[in-house]
Structure 1
């Protein structure tokens, strides 16, 4: 004859259910903790690479500006060459800043 497992009482079933629920909750917390650490590592790497790229781009722009000044200085002199390059770069920066500001205002729902 096949032995039937003893019927567990409702208290034992509820206790086992609570323990299983705790185990599940701890596993979920562990999963999300691991996921958050992974995302944080990815974000940190991305920020360092992005910052390095921005610094290198800035260095390249400075080198370009120096090259423009040196090239123009043989034509108009070093003072005028510096002024011309400075004015051009400042105008480009002003236009880009104005465009950025209009986008910020548009995002905030304000009209120009």
Structure 2
């Protein structure tokens, strides 16, 4: 006659199957948690990103106005064409200087 404990024992294959099913369920739950966390962080970052883009656009507009003001001020001294060219050269010079600075910093990272 079999002992009372033999009824509770299940085959090893069935136990491994249950373990695999529970592991899959756990992995799906973790993935769902990670996805929900990422979506919450993305939603929280939308408004600051929009404000940042808007401020960058206004910064660009300010630089354009500054360059136009410089060109108009120089136009009264050297003429409109020369004033515009001088303002453009100054702007391009600043842009080139910033490009060189960025390239130098990028090379330092290597």
State TM-score, norm by structure 1.
0.68
Which of 29, 37, 40 is the matching residue for 1:38?
40
RMSD: 2.8
Shift of 1:34: 1.4
Partner of 2:90: 88
The structure showing larger relative contact order (alpha-carbon pairs under 8 Å, at least 6 residues apart) is: 2
- Once the two structures are TM-superposed, the CA of residue 83 in structure 1 deviates from its matched residue by 1.2
Q: Return 5+ residue gaps in structure 2 as ranges.
A: 1-7
Alignment partner of 2:81 out of 79, 82, 98? 79
* Alignment correspondent of 2:60: 58
TM-score, length-scaled by structure 2:
0.69
Shift of 1:17: 8.3
Q: Distance in 2 between matches of 1:60 and 1:72?
A: 18
Residues in 1 aligned to 2:89 and 2:24: alpha-carbon distance in whole angstroms? 67
- Which deviates the most, 71-80 or 93-102? 71-80
Q: Normalized per residue, which structure has more helix?
A: 2
Shift of 1:27: 4.5
Q: In the aligned structure 2, how far is the partner of 1:88 from the partner of 1:52?
A: 26
User: Mind listing any 5+ residue stretches in structure 1 that lack a counterpart?
Assistant: 1-6
Q: Name the count of aligned residue pairs.
A: 102
| Superimposed CA distance per residue, residues 24-71 of structure 1 (whole angstroms, 9 cap, x where no aligned partner) | 555433322211101222344343333222221111100111111111
> What is the match of residue 101 of structure 1?
103
